[in-house]
Amino acid sequence: MTGSIITKVQARRVWDSRGNPTVEVEVATTSGMGRAIAPAGASRGTREASDLRDGGTKLAGMDVRVAVSNVTTLIAPALIGLDAGDQASVDAALIALDGTPLKSRLGGNAMVATSLAVLNAGATAKAVPLWQHVAEMSGQTPSIPLPEIQIFGGGAHAGRRVDVQDFMVMVPGASRFEESMEVTSEIYRAAGAIMKQRGHSIGVADEGGWWPVFDSNEQALDTLMQAIEAAGETPGDRVVISLDIAASEFGRNGRYRLALENRDLDRDQMIDLLGRWIDTYPIASIEDPLSEDDPEGMVAFTQAYGDRVQIIGDDYLVTNARLVSAAAKAGACNAVLIKVNQAGTVTESLQCMATAREAGYRSIVSARSGETEDTSISHLSVGLNAGQLKVGSITRSERMAKWNEVLRIAEALPPDAFVGGAPLANTWWGRTRHVSTNQ
Ligand code: PGA
Ligand code: ZN
């Protein structure tokens, strides 16, 4: 399509939600422009695409001057003349130009911002919304995802004041996306009121969830239960709990150190602990229950609990099709988190989603803890028919930009485009509730 031939690629340094520098890219075609910004993780998997940071002492070594200049000096000449509507070819050119396994030459941050800017430029050239462009590209029927929303932060996003990284809720019993936002807002408010009553000063962690002032991980879970009840809900009915353990942050060589409780667990004890939580609380989804270096634990945990809860690989699978295939063969996890900047390009993320679908894995499009106003992932979750979206809490505008964008997109789709509880159909929740299966 001549209107989508890339004529210009520009980059600038902008700033993310933690005040760190990041890369913004603009890709122009004769039909208009597409823009995107690279997000940044704090609890990163070792096998994900690596961001290029300048190092040194300035800005704690986090500057991205080299990554920005890589876009203008190396990437731009390679992309000008290519078709922004042909995402696969553009991404193949980026991957060839980089030539390293973890995108360390150009920088994962330079590459993901470019790849997403090309995606946006492709939609602009077609004069369709981004979600529609993605749906046409992936051959999927667009759907409105079930949100997974943080109430308490933790782990690397909250000074490790509690070991578990995300205490979240999902509202699979909601009949519309906006209903799940409303219910979650009530729960968030109730959780804040409880913390205030306990005399804690009210602050938030990196993704907008309440700052975790707890004596144990269980106390955080108990407080979440109280907040759900205080919001007028019966835990496990319309609302369920979802956890991101992010165990790679405190697990090494099959051993797990729960710093808050001053406890050291081996693999089996860690699995037993999570099993007790699953028995005690209405948990329908658990992410990274074991460390990324513990495939044995991940298989054992999936064998024990995979028919009851969704088990998501994040650090463990790093949006990598090959790792998803291997995990499926081994019987580890039954869902994959999709973070475009872990893969480094849109095409590789799509390949990972396709592999997940073939393996019967569910998928959850996810933001990073360092985010911006960029809303590309909201469109990806819809256009890829991912079924679930995780972008942090229900506060802070880098989070709300994504949720609010889904509300806008939902207006363009029929009411039954909302997947509701369908992604949790194979969990205890799906078996005990009526689940519509329009996914
Ligand atoms: P990160 O955390 O963006 O800091 O890696 C998000 C997650 O673990 O899901
Ligand atoms: Zn995670």
Cβ(369) – ligand 1 distance below 6 Å: yes
- φ/ψ of 25, rounded to 5, equals -125, 140
Residue 436 pLDDT:
56
Residue 301 pLDDT:
98
Domains of the chain are 2-127 (3.30.390.10), 138-431 (3.20.20.120)
pLDDT at 341 over 70: yes
Task: Return the CA Rg of the chain.
Answer: 21
- Contact of 287 with 317, CB cutoff 8 Å: no
Ligand 1 nearest-atom number relative to CA 206: 4
Q: What is the pLDDT of residues 199-257, one digit of tens each?
A: 998 899 999 999 999 999 999 999 999 999 999 999 999 999 999 999 999 999 999 99
- Contact of 188 with 151, CB cutoff 8 Å: yes
Ligand 1 nearest-atom number relative to CA 369: 3
Q: Which two tokens stand for residue 251?
A: 């697990």
Q: What is the 3-state secondary structure (H, E, C) of 27-96?
A: EEECCEEEEEECCECCCCCCCCCCCCCCCCCHHHHCCCHHHHHHHHHHHHHHHCCCECCCHHHHHHHHHH
Active site residue 218: no
First CA to last CA across the chain, in angstroms? 32
Distance between CA 300 and CA 296 in Å, rounded?
6
Distance between CA 29 and CA 280 in Å, rounded?
55
Q: Which two tokens stand for residue 45?
A: 């998997």
Cβ(375) – ligand 1 distance below 6 Å: no
Catalytic residue chosen out of the listed positions 207, 249, 287, 371: 207
Q: What is the pLDDT of residues 268-299, one digit of tens each?
A: 999 999 999 999 999 999 999 999 999 999 99
Residue 120 pLDDT:
99
Q: What is the pLDDT of residues 349-377, one digit of tens each?
A: 999 999 999 999 999 999 999 999 999 99
Closest listed residue to residue 41, CA positions, set 25, 18, 75:
18
- Contact of 316 with 274, CB cutoff 8 Å: no
The amino acid at 289: P
Q: What distance in angstroms lies between residue 244's CA and the mean position of ligand 2's atoms?
A: 6
Mutation pick for ligand 1 pocket among 16, 43, 341, 402 (CB with most ligand atoms within 8 Å) = 43
Distance between CA 257 and CA 418 in Å, rounded?
40
Q: What distance in angstroms lies between residue 165's CA and the mean position of ligand 1's atoms?
A: 8
Token pair 């969990």: residue: 427
pLDDT at 394 over 80: yes
Residue 434: which pLDDT band, with cuts at 50, 70 and 90? low
In three-state secondary structure terms, 304 is helix
Strand partners, 243: 167, 286
Residue 201 pLDDT:
80
pLDDT at 86 over 60: yes
Residue 137 pLDDT:
97
pLDDT, the chain, mean: 97
pLDDT at 8 over 90: yes
Cβ(368) – ligand 1 distance below 6 Å: yes
pLDDT at 194 over 70: yes
Residue 348 pLDDT:
98
Active site residue 249: no
Residue 12: which pLDDT band, with cuts at 50, 70 and 90? very high
Catalytic residue chosen out of the listed positions 126, 339, 390, 402: 339
Q: Which ligand is nearest to the CA of 392?
A: 1
Ligand 1 nearest-atom number relative to CA 157: 4
Q: Which ligand is nearest to the CA of 156?
A: 1
CA distances in angstroms from 44 to 51, 115, 271, 319, 434, listed in the order given:
11, 20, 22, 12, 37
- Contact of 152 with 195, CB cutoff 8 Å: no
Q: What is the pLDDT of residues 106-149, one digit of tens each?
A: 999 999 999 999 999 999 999 999 999 999 999 999 999 999 99
Q: Which two tokens stand for residue 230?
A: 């205080």
Distance between CA 438 and CA 431 in Å, rounded?
16
Residue 52 pLDDT:
98
Residue 228 pLDDT:
98
Rounded mean pLDDT of 165-191?
A: 98
Distance between CA 75 and CA 106 in Å, rounded?
8
Distance between CA 389 and CA 260 in Å, rounded?
29
Distance of CA 80 to the CA centre of its chain: 31
Residue 439 pLDDT:
47
Q: Which two tokens stand for residue 317?
A: 């699978």
DSSP annotation of 261 reads T
Decide: residue 77, CB within 10 A, 0-12 exposed, 13-18 middle, 19+ buried: exposed
Rounded mean pLDDT of 73-92?
A: 98
Residue 437 pLDDT:
52
